[in-house]
Amino acid sequence: MSALLLMAPALLLLLVVFVWPLLDYAWLSLQAQSVFTGLEAVPVGTLNWQRLLVDGRFWQDAWQTLRFAAVSVALELVAGLAIALLLHQRWRGRGVVRGLALLPWALPTTVMALGWRWIFNDPYGPINGLLQLLGLATLPFLAAPELAWLATVVADVWKTTPFVALLLLAGLQMIPDDLYEAFALEGGTPWQGLWRITLPLLRPYIFIVLLFRLAQALGVFDLIAVLTGGGPASSTESLALYAYLNAMRFLDFGYSATVMLGMFLLLLAGAGGLLLWRRQTDAPQEVRP
Protein backbone atom coordinates (compact mmCIF):
# COMPACT_ATOMS: atom_id res chain seq x y z
CA MET A 1 0.00 0.00 0.00
CA SER A 2 2.78 2.41 0.93
CA ALA A 3 4.58 1.45 -2.25
CA LEU A 4 1.59 2.54 -4.26
CA LEU A 5 1.48 5.76 -2.28
CA LEU A 6 5.12 6.46 -3.02
CA MET A 7 4.63 5.76 -6.67
CA ALA A 8 1.50 7.88 -6.88
CA PRO A 9 3.18 11.17 -7.90
CA ALA A 10 5.05 9.48 -10.74
CA LEU A 11 1.97 7.61 -11.86
CA LEU A 12 -0.09 10.79 -11.73
CA LEU A 13 2.48 12.62 -13.84
CA LEU A 14 2.50 9.81 -16.36
CA LEU A 15 -1.27 9.87 -16.44
CA VAL A 16 -1.43 13.61 -17.04
CA VAL A 17 1.33 13.99 -19.62
CA PHE A 18 1.02 10.68 -21.41
CA VAL A 19 -2.17 8.70 -20.93
CA TRP A 20 -4.57 11.62 -20.94
CA PRO A 21 -3.34 13.20 -24.22
CA LEU A 22 -3.33 9.76 -25.79
CA LEU A 23 -6.94 9.14 -24.81
CA ASP A 24 -7.83 12.64 -25.93
CA TYR A 25 -6.30 11.95 -29.33
CA ALA A 26 -8.05 8.61 -29.56
CA TRP A 27 -11.35 10.41 -28.93
CA LEU A 28 -10.46 13.16 -31.41
CA SER A 29 -9.65 10.60 -34.10
CA LEU A 30 -13.28 9.46 -33.93
CA GLN A 31 -14.56 12.98 -34.56
CA ALA A 32 -14.75 15.25 -37.55
CA GLN A 33 -13.34 18.48 -36.17
CA SER A 34 -12.20 20.75 -38.91
CA VAL A 35 -12.71 24.11 -40.53
CA PHE A 36 -15.65 22.58 -42.37
CA THR A 37 -17.47 21.82 -39.13
CA GLY A 38 -16.72 25.27 -37.75
CA LEU A 39 -14.19 23.54 -35.46
CA GLU A 40 -17.04 21.73 -33.66
CA ALA A 41 -16.41 18.06 -32.94
CA VAL A 42 -18.90 15.85 -34.77
CA PRO A 43 -18.74 12.10 -34.05
CA VAL A 44 -18.04 10.16 -37.25
CA GLY A 45 -17.09 6.73 -35.97
CA THR A 46 -14.09 5.23 -37.70
CA LEU A 47 -14.29 7.44 -40.79
CA ASN A 48 -10.88 9.04 -40.13
CA TRP A 49 -9.30 5.61 -39.67
CA GLN A 50 -10.83 4.33 -42.90
CA ARG A 51 -9.40 7.35 -44.65
CA LEU A 52 -6.00 6.71 -43.08
CA LEU A 53 -5.89 3.14 -44.34
CA VAL A 54 -6.36 4.19 -47.97
CA ASP A 55 -4.46 7.49 -47.72
CA GLY A 56 -1.53 6.92 -50.07
CA ARG A 57 0.18 9.98 -48.69
CA PHE A 58 0.17 8.62 -45.13
CA TRP A 59 1.81 5.38 -46.23
CA GLN A 60 4.24 7.15 -48.52
CA ASP A 61 5.23 9.42 -45.63
CA ALA A 62 5.44 6.42 -43.29
CA TRP A 63 7.86 4.73 -45.68
CA GLN A 64 9.86 7.94 -46.13
CA THR A 65 10.03 8.51 -42.38
CA LEU A 66 11.14 4.94 -41.79
CA ARG A 67 13.75 5.15 -44.54
CA PHE A 68 15.04 8.44 -43.15
CA ALA A 69 15.23 7.07 -39.61
CA ALA A 70 16.82 3.73 -40.54
CA VAL A 71 19.50 5.17 -42.80
CA SER A 72 20.41 8.17 -40.67
CA VAL A 73 20.48 6.25 -37.38
CA ALA A 74 22.61 3.47 -38.92
CA LEU A 75 25.10 6.02 -40.26
CA GLU A 76 25.10 7.88 -36.96
CA LEU A 77 25.80 4.67 -35.07
CA VAL A 78 28.83 3.80 -37.22
CA ALA A 79 30.21 7.34 -37.32
CA GLY A 80 29.42 7.90 -33.65
CA LEU A 81 31.23 4.71 -32.64
CA ALA A 82 34.28 5.69 -34.68
CA ILE A 83 34.38 9.11 -33.07
CA ALA A 84 33.80 7.66 -29.60
CA LEU A 85 36.70 5.21 -30.05
CA LEU A 86 38.91 8.06 -31.19
CA LEU A 87 37.94 10.30 -28.31
CA HIS A 88 38.45 7.42 -25.87
CA GLN A 89 42.13 7.14 -26.72
CA ARG A 90 44.57 9.31 -24.84
CA TRP A 91 46.18 11.96 -27.01
CA ARG A 92 47.19 15.59 -26.78
CA GLY A 93 44.35 18.02 -27.43
CA ARG A 94 41.68 15.40 -26.79
CA GLY A 95 39.80 17.66 -24.39
CA VAL A 96 39.50 20.42 -26.97
CA VAL A 97 38.35 18.02 -29.68
CA ARG A 98 35.81 16.46 -27.30
CA GLY A 99 34.32 19.90 -26.79
CA LEU A 100 34.39 20.77 -30.48
CA ALA A 101 32.80 17.46 -31.47
CA LEU A 102 29.73 18.39 -29.48
CA LEU A 103 29.14 21.66 -31.34
CA PRO A 104 26.75 20.39 -34.02
CA TRP A 105 24.59 18.83 -31.32
CA ALA A 106 24.46 22.10 -29.41
CA LEU A 107 23.23 24.05 -32.44
CA PRO A 108 19.46 24.59 -32.67
CA THR A 109 18.05 22.38 -35.44
CA THR A 110 16.35 25.25 -37.23
CA VAL A 111 19.58 27.20 -37.42
CA MET A 112 21.60 24.28 -38.71
CA ALA A 113 18.87 23.36 -41.21
CA LEU A 114 18.99 26.89 -42.61
CA GLY A 115 22.75 26.49 -42.87
CA TRP A 116 22.43 23.23 -44.77
CA ARG A 117 19.81 24.76 -47.04
CA TRP A 118 22.48 27.23 -48.05
CA ILE A 119 25.20 24.57 -48.33
CA PHE A 120 22.99 22.55 -50.71
CA ASN A 121 21.93 25.64 -52.70
CA ASP A 122 22.06 25.22 -56.45
CA PRO A 123 24.16 26.83 -57.89
CA TYR A 124 25.49 29.21 -55.19
CA GLY A 125 26.09 26.78 -52.30
CA PRO A 126 29.60 25.66 -51.34
CA ILE A 127 29.12 22.03 -52.42
CA ASN A 128 28.07 23.07 -55.91
CA GLY A 129 30.87 25.65 -55.88
CA LEU A 130 33.29 22.77 -55.27
CA LEU A 131 31.72 20.69 -58.05
CA GLN A 132 32.04 23.62 -60.46
CA LEU A 133 35.65 24.11 -59.42
CA LEU A 134 36.28 20.48 -60.37
CA GLY A 135 34.62 21.10 -63.71
CA LEU A 136 31.55 19.06 -62.86
CA ALA A 137 27.91 19.97 -63.33
CA THR A 138 26.03 21.36 -60.34
CA LEU A 139 23.50 19.11 -58.63
CA PRO A 140 20.02 20.29 -57.62
CA PHE A 141 20.29 18.68 -54.17
CA LEU A 142 17.03 19.99 -52.79
CA ALA A 143 15.13 20.06 -56.08
CA ALA A 144 15.44 16.40 -57.09
CA PRO A 145 13.39 13.84 -55.13
CA GLU A 146 16.12 11.18 -55.23
CA LEU A 147 18.73 13.61 -53.85
CA ALA A 148 16.63 15.62 -51.46
CA TRP A 149 15.97 12.79 -49.00
CA LEU A 150 19.70 12.03 -48.91
CA ALA A 151 20.30 15.70 -48.17
CA THR A 152 18.02 15.44 -45.15
CA VAL A 153 19.92 12.34 -44.01
CA VAL A 154 23.29 14.08 -44.37
CA ALA A 155 22.12 17.08 -42.35
CA ASP A 156 20.68 14.82 -39.65
CA VAL A 157 23.82 12.68 -39.44
CA TRP A 158 25.96 15.78 -39.12
CA LYS A 159 23.79 17.09 -36.35
CA THR A 160 23.20 13.98 -34.22
CA THR A 161 26.38 11.94 -34.57
CA PRO A 162 27.95 13.85 -31.64
CA PHE A 163 25.06 12.78 -29.43
CA VAL A 164 25.61 9.14 -30.36
CA ALA A 165 29.35 9.52 -29.86
CA LEU A 166 28.82 11.02 -26.42
CA LEU A 167 26.62 8.17 -25.21
CA LEU A 168 28.95 5.53 -26.62
CA LEU A 169 31.97 7.28 -25.12
CA ALA A 170 30.32 7.03 -21.72
CA GLY A 171 29.88 3.32 -22.39
CA LEU A 172 33.49 2.86 -23.44
CA GLN A 173 34.67 4.39 -20.20
CA MET A 174 32.75 1.78 -18.24
CA ILE A 175 34.78 -1.04 -19.81
CA PRO A 176 37.74 -1.88 -17.53
CA ASP A 177 41.16 -1.61 -19.22
CA ASP A 178 42.41 -4.91 -17.73
CA LEU A 179 40.01 -6.81 -19.98
CA TYR A 180 41.91 -5.53 -23.01
CA GLU A 181 45.25 -6.20 -21.30
CA ALA A 182 44.35 -9.82 -20.53
CA PHE A 183 42.99 -10.17 -24.08
CA ALA A 184 46.30 -8.86 -25.52
CA LEU A 185 48.30 -11.24 -23.30
CA GLU A 186 46.36 -14.13 -24.77
CA GLY A 187 47.35 -12.96 -28.24
CA GLY A 188 44.21 -11.12 -29.31
CA THR A 189 44.58 -8.26 -31.80
CA PRO A 190 42.94 -4.85 -31.21
CA TRP A 191 40.56 -5.53 -34.14
CA GLN A 192 39.41 -8.76 -32.48
CA GLY A 193 39.14 -6.84 -29.23
CA LEU A 194 36.67 -4.45 -30.82
CA TRP A 195 34.38 -7.31 -31.83
CA ARG A 196 34.86 -9.57 -28.81
CA ILE A 197 35.02 -7.06 -25.95
CA THR A 198 34.01 -3.56 -26.94
CA LEU A 199 30.89 -4.20 -28.94
CA PRO A 200 29.37 -6.87 -26.65
CA LEU A 201 29.95 -4.74 -23.58
CA LEU A 202 28.64 -1.65 -25.34
CA ARG A 203 25.40 -3.41 -26.22
CA PRO A 204 23.28 -1.77 -23.49
CA TYR A 205 24.54 1.63 -24.57
CA ILE A 206 23.89 0.90 -28.23
CA PHE A 207 20.40 -0.11 -27.21
CA ILE A 208 19.85 3.22 -25.45
CA VAL A 209 21.23 5.08 -28.45
CA LEU A 210 18.93 3.22 -30.81
CA LEU A 211 15.94 3.85 -28.61
CA PHE A 212 16.60 7.59 -28.29
CA ARG A 213 17.63 8.16 -31.85
CA LEU A 214 14.93 6.07 -33.51
CA ALA A 215 12.23 7.72 -31.44
CA GLN A 216 13.62 11.11 -32.40
CA ALA A 217 14.24 10.33 -36.06
CA LEU A 218 10.83 8.79 -36.57
CA GLY A 219 9.29 11.96 -35.24
CA VAL A 220 11.50 14.23 -37.35
CA PHE A 221 9.88 17.57 -38.04
CA ASP A 222 11.91 20.76 -37.67
CA LEU A 223 14.87 19.68 -39.82
CA ILE A 224 12.65 18.76 -42.75
CA ALA A 225 10.23 21.65 -42.32
CA VAL A 226 13.11 24.10 -42.67
CA LEU A 227 15.37 22.27 -45.13
CA THR A 228 12.87 21.17 -47.77
CA GLY A 229 9.39 21.88 -46.41
CA GLY A 230 8.60 18.28 -47.34
CA GLY A 231 9.21 18.80 -51.05
CA PRO A 232 9.94 18.30 -53.85
CA ALA A 233 6.80 16.36 -54.70
CA SER A 234 6.43 15.50 -50.98
CA SER A 235 9.45 13.21 -51.36
CA THR A 236 10.92 14.25 -48.00
CA GLU A 237 7.70 14.71 -46.09
CA SER A 238 7.64 12.96 -42.71
CA LEU A 239 4.61 11.79 -40.79
CA ALA A 240 5.03 14.52 -38.20
CA LEU A 241 5.06 17.13 -40.96
CA TYR A 242 1.92 15.63 -42.48
CA ALA A 243 0.16 15.71 -39.11
CA TYR A 244 1.24 19.31 -38.66
CA LEU A 245 -0.05 20.28 -42.12
CA ASN A 246 -3.40 18.72 -41.33
CA ALA A 247 -3.72 20.52 -38.01
CA MET A 248 -2.18 23.92 -38.56
CA ARG A 249 -2.68 24.50 -42.29
CA PHE A 250 -5.82 22.56 -43.16
CA LEU A 251 -7.38 22.98 -39.70
CA ASP A 252 -8.44 19.32 -39.80
CA PHE A 253 -7.83 18.29 -36.21
CA GLY A 254 -9.70 15.00 -36.33
CA TYR A 255 -7.58 13.66 -39.15
CA SER A 256 -4.40 15.14 -37.77
CA ALA A 257 -4.99 13.26 -34.52
CA THR A 258 -5.56 10.08 -36.54
CA VAL A 259 -2.26 10.56 -38.38
CA MET A 260 -0.47 11.14 -35.07
CA LEU A 261 -2.03 8.05 -33.52
CA GLY A 262 -1.24 6.00 -36.61
CA MET A 263 2.34 7.13 -36.29
CA PHE A 264 2.29 6.30 -32.58
CA LEU A 265 1.09 2.77 -33.31
CA LEU A 266 3.87 2.29 -35.86
CA LEU A 267 6.40 3.59 -33.32
CA LEU A 268 5.02 1.27 -30.67
CA ALA A 269 5.47 -1.70 -33.00
CA GLY A 270 9.04 -0.58 -33.68
CA ALA A 271 9.85 -0.16 -29.99
CA GLY A 272 8.32 -3.56 -29.26
CA GLY A 273 10.53 -5.14 -31.89
CA LEU A 274 13.58 -3.49 -30.41
CA LEU A 275 12.74 -4.72 -26.91
CA LEU A 276 12.28 -8.23 -28.20
CA TRP A 277 15.63 -8.05 -29.97
CA ARG A 278 17.24 -6.90 -26.74
CA ARG A 279 15.71 -9.71 -24.72
CA GLN A 280 17.03 -12.28 -27.13
CA THR A 281 20.54 -10.90 -27.37
CA ASP A 282 20.99 -9.88 -23.76
CA ALA A 283 22.12 -13.30 -22.55
CA PRO A 284 25.49 -13.02 -20.76
CA GLN A 285 28.35 -13.31 -23.22
CA GLU A 286 31.57 -15.13 -22.69
CA VAL A 287 34.70 -13.19 -23.46
CA ARG A 288 37.27 -15.35 -25.19
CA PRO A 289 40.01 -14.54 -27.67
34: three-class secondary structure by DSSP: strand
Where are the strands (E) in 21-173, listed by range? 31-32, 42-43
Write the CB contacts of 33 (distance below 8 Å, at least 6 apart in sequence).
Answer: 39, 40, 41, 42, 252, 253, 254
DSSP conformation letters of 251-269: -BHHHHHHHHHHHHHHHHH
Q: How far is the CB of 106 from other proteins (least distance, A)?
A: 21
Cβ distance to other proteins smaller for residue 140 or 219: 140
Q: Which is nearer to other proteins, 18 or 36 (CB)?
A: 36
Helices (H), ranges, 2-55? 2-14, 20-28, 47-54
- CB nearer to other proteins: give 59 or 250: 250
Are 156 and 213 in contact by the 8 Å Cβ rule? The answer is no
Gap between the Cα atoms of 66 and 72, Å rounded: 10
Q: How far is the CB of 228 from other proteins (least distance, A)?
A: 8
- Kindly list the residues in this chain that would bind other proteins in the complex (CB under 8 A): 34-36, 38-39, 121-124, 138, 140, 142-145, 148, 228-235, 245, 248-252
Nearest partner of 265 among 54, 71, 53, judged by Cα? 53
Residue with smaller CB distance to other proteins, 200 or 232? 232
Measured from the CB atom, the residue of 124 and 191 that comes closer to other proteins is 124
Q: At its nearest, how many Å lie between other proteins and the CB of residue 252?
A: 7
Q: Tell me the closest approach of the beta carbon of residue 113 to other proteins, in angstroms.
A: 14
Shortest distance in whole angstroms from residue 32 CB to other proteins = 9
